Structure 1
Amino acid sequence: MKNYFLILFSICAFSQEKTISVEKNYNNWGWSDVYVAKNKYISLAVVPEAAGRILEYNLGDVPSLWVNPKLKGKSFGASEEVKMNEWRNFGGYRLVPLPIENSSIDKNGNKSKRWPPPVVIGDSPYKVSIGENSEGKKTIEVQSGVQELPVPFFFGKEKKFLYPDKIDEKIQYGRSLYIESNSSLVYIYHTLKNVGDKTIKKGLMISSQHVSWSDSKLQDGHNFSAFIPFSEELKLPSGAQFEISATPKQRWNFINRNRFKIDKNNTEDVKKYFNKGTNWKGEVAPGIYEVEYDYNAMAGLHIISSKSWICYVNKITNTAFVKIMEPYDASKEYDHGINMAIFCSGLETGYLETEVKTPLYTLQPKESFTYKEIHGAAKIETSPVLDVNLAGIITGKLQLKKDTQTLKGSYGVFMEGQAFLYLKNKRGKIIKEIKLEKVNPLKVFILQTKISIDKSITSIDLIVRVLKSEDHVLDSLKI
């Protein structure tokens, strides 16, 4: 898996063009300077005043990210004096330092969590600039202020803020990202630095808040899902395969308080709402778990992703947005033992959140860690999503019907290129190369072709070739 991820970040071949600009009042959001990365397939927007969040990642005209309509054009200072109901959640792609449990203090002065999360790293304006990486690619660079921890906590009974006796941690976050001209891929490098004078143990939760309704009045959250791969061998610290972060009683109480009145003596109400939610779809394909969005299920799915991806799908437009991250490493420590979560939020207009959790790193003063992600987007024929790699998304794996000599498969691709079949012998030598169609992220790739195979052929590779020289394996079949 480690070699697999290194391959993901060894791409270096697309021709460069001006992909990054600074736009005034982009999308009529109301912010003065928005940093926009754009090519003919995707658009991505970073907003300095909105804590450096990515508030747009679109494939064509299909958005993946939810933007809070109440906070467009707004910005906030760095004061940590915020109460429970004062979370400045702009939406989009955001982060929270981990573990959240030691970010604040309780009434006795002990370490505790606080919601809203720490403000400097989560809500206040970031420094943003256009840079250039070692490969000569233009980048969008963001940097937070220095976040001091623990932060104050508002004690409701006495109606006052409680302050820590001392500052134990000082951290600073940075992000560098770039896109290329002929793909939907976004390459992201996160850095968290210990800028204090004490040794600390920290990680990051990096999450995307996704569009989850076509119209809030329709409540059609079943059309918006997240897919995550899992393995029976990877269990949570509790020994469970996964956990839902709300009980039936909590769900009942949430709906009754925040949505509409329900009656515990009404058998239909009890059947419908006294449960953890019917949106936790379970195993919809071998090793693939699905979560549908439900506005009335304010809870999360905690699970270990067995492969290096998580995928959000808009089923109305058949558009998929994927995160490819560093592989789960059982030798490392993770917050609550998980590297991934999916959360259904009932806040504001509602959103489905895909959360990636880095390991927890021990950092000496001035030390930092860097965590890498790749995001990709593609049109697909259908769901569930069965697998993901750098070339694209698999929704129908390669199948060979020998009686009709027909080869089939269904895919979304991240790159503009030419599809080929490589027919190989048992030594891996290419015996025959078959040219197929041209592919790109805005075009569903459905493979169905007649193929003649003799006894010397033992495997088939489906390839996407970029710029006539760079081959990426989209799918493979052993015969």
Structure 2
Amino acid sequence: MNTVSIEKNYKDWNWENVYVAKNKYISLAVVPCAGGRILEYNLGEVPSLWLNPELLGKTFPATDKVKTNEWRNYGGYRLVPIPVENCSVDKNGNRGKRWPPPAIIGDAKYEITVKKNTLGFQTIEVKSGVQQLPVPKFFGSKGFVYSDKIEEELQYSRTLYIDLHSSLVYIDHTLQNVGNTTIKRGLKISSQHISETKRGLHDGENYVAYVPFDEKLKLPNGKQFEITTNPDQRWRYLNRNRFKLDKNNPEHLEKYYNHGTNWNGEVAPGIFEVEYDYNQMAGLHIIASDSWLCYVNKKTNTAFAKIMEAYDPRLEYDQGLNNAIFCSGLSEGYIETEVQTPLYNLAPNQSFKYREIHGAAQIDNGPVLSVNMAGIITKKMSFIEAEKKITGTYGVFNEGKAILQFKTGDTILKSQELQEVNPLKIFKLNIAVDTPDHHLDTVQIVIIDINKKETVLDTFYF
């Protein structure tokens, strides 16, 4: 199943070799010279990832001797080791935080290979250099301050593959301790998404992210969620970086002395929505109660979802979080969907693996109510008794057929073929049905893909 090619100067990006995974629905581009980042994930012609135009074709040396203003942020799909608070050193040589984050694992050149996995799919595999921690930090007249010794050595690798008839991308992350001491580390894996229709338009209200939550899952501070800035910080940021503000102006106070108005809150039961705001530089911290996040371009009604490992309250997470949504005001700005792995204790030569599955689909509209391996639900299945009608609205990840199954327990009483489906086609269900006379307790929509694999999209319980 050949899906991978090596392209020279792909899309005039000015990198010699770009590794492209492509089928008739999606395209991905991995750039080894840009920190091994995925700099393209498109559904048809619709991109999901922001690409920094200032760094096209650039390659940087493998050094952590970088200053605050020297972050090599290519855009796209990136990662940082967590916790970030102890990746550097302070003025006295003690552990601290640094921005830019560690560069060997973040933006230096990666090794890259194309292989074939046991399922017969071509894979793109990348591997970082060895990241030594703590990294030095620049303190003006003191220059770079270094730790007395190397305390940690990490190496990151990633394998991904796609198939011919789906928008799904299977991504496996590995973080290995290649040092001599036991460490505690995890990964924050982020997609920097497009947040404006054209550069400089700043119409971020059309670019949103959804995260599912449960009122029972609280942050370590006991709150349901938090915004990582306050009104004073927002005011100062805007006054310094955007435009002059006047605290004697009631209009300015109402509009800008707040946490931002882009945190739209609960837009459906258990679903939080964030829209991008160029004049907001902050994140949403909330525990994702289900195993997904979803970014949506409302101008094109295109959804890009991440299916991640389930939150496990028995495990330790940095800041108690398994995800975050971040609105960046850097460059022209972007909205990030961030997946955070648990923190793992790794003895020398030990590693942990973490799987994400990304999927893209055309949808009718938001909000996104749920995501599973079959697709995206924007209107859950319902049964209208008076009309004997079933309705629902979806986006799907796989090419195939949609089947309606009437069940009692595990027994299928009746099946009804609905329609052909694929990731570029909105799937709307609005049909009259003849329900079986037996003890019907469940109706479910099943997607049967090209390879005859069945995946449940939605279920209605009587």
**Normalising to structure 2: TM-score of the pair?**
0.99
Name the SS of the counterpart of 2:57 in structure 1: coil
Number of equivalent positions = 461
Where does the alignment leave 5 or more consecutive residues of structure 2 unmatched? none
Q: How does 1:152-171 map to 2 (within 5 A)?
A: 152-156=136-140, 158-171=141-154
In 1: Cα distance, 2:4 partner to 2:229 partner: 42
SS state of the match for residue 386, structure 2? coil
C-alpha distance in 1 between matches for 2:451 and 2:6: 33
SS of the equivalent of 2:353 reads strand
| Partner residue of 2:412 out of 430, 447, 459 | 430
Structure 1 match to 2:435 = 453
Per-residue deviation, 1:330: 0.6
Counterparts of 1:201-280 in structure 2, within 5 Å, are: 201-280=184-263
* Residues in 1 aligned to 2:172 and 2:278: alpha-carbon distance in whole angstroms: 32
**Residue type at the aligned position of 2:267:** V
Does 1:303 find its partner at 2:286?
Answer: yes
**Which runs of structure 2 are paired with 1:79-478 in the superposition (5 Å)?**
79-156=63-140, 158-425=141-408, 427-456=409-438, 457-467=440-450, 469-478=452-461
2:253 is paired with a residue whose SS is: helix
Distance 2:424 2:436 in 1: 35
Letter in 2 for 1:234: L
2:10 maps to which of 14, 26, 37: 26
What do residues 354-394 of structure 1 show as CA deviations (whole Å, max 9, x unaligned)?
Answer: 00000000000000000000000000001000001000000
Please say which of residues 397-406 and 186-195 is displaced more in the overlay: 397-406
Q: What does the per-residue CA deviation read over 1:427-473, in whole Å, with 9 as the maximum and x for residues that have no partner?
A: 33111110111000000000110112244222101010113631110
TM-score, structure 1 as length reference: 0.95
**Paired residue type of 2:145:** L
Q: Distance between the aligned counterparts of 1:299 and 1:455, measured in 2?
A: 55
Tell me the CA shift for residue 262 of structure 1: 1.0
Shift of 1:249: 0.5
Amino acid at match of 1:286: P
- Secondary structure, counterpart of 2:205 in structure 1: helix
Distance 2:449 2:405 in 1: 15
SS of corresponding position for 1:122: coil
Rounded to whole Å, the distance in 2 between the matches of 1:115 and 1:411 is 41
Q: CA deviation at 1:136?
A: 2.3
**Mean Cα displacement is larger for which, 64-73 or 456-465?**
456-465
Dislocated runs of 4+, deviation >6 Å: none
Gap change, CA 1:182 and 1:378, over 3 Å in 2? same
In structure 2, distance between residues paired with 1:278 and 1:338: 23
Structure 1 SS opposite 2:387: coil
Distance 1:352 1:129 in 2: 30
Encode CA deviations 1:89-135: one digit per residue, 9 max, x unaligned: 00000000011111000001110010000010001100011012222
Amino acid of the structure 1 residue aligned with 2:415: E
Deviation, 1:216, is 3.2
Report Cα offsets for 1:387-429 as digits up to 9, x if no partner. 010000000000111111111000000000001100112x331
Instruction: Provide, for residues 136-179 of structure 1, a one-character-per-residue CA deviation record: whole Å limited to 9, x for no partner.
Output: 221000000000000000012x2511111000000000000000
SS at match of 1:121: coil
Would the aligned equivalents of 2:414 and 2:436 in 1 still touch at CA under 8 Å? no
Equivalent residue letter for 1:77: P
- Could you tell me how far apart the structure 1 residues matched to 2:433 and 2:184 are? 56
The one-letter code of the counterpart of 1:66 is W
SS of the residue aligned with 2:63?
coil
The answer for the alignment partner of 1:4 in structure 2 is none
The one-letter amino acid of 1:102's match is: N
1:71 maps to a residue whose letter is L
Gaps spanning 5+ residues in structure 1: where?
A: 1-15
CA distance in 1, matches of 2:103, 2:453: 44
Q: Separation in 2 of the partners of 1:218 and 1:280?
A: 20
RMSD over aligned Cα, in angstroms? 0.8
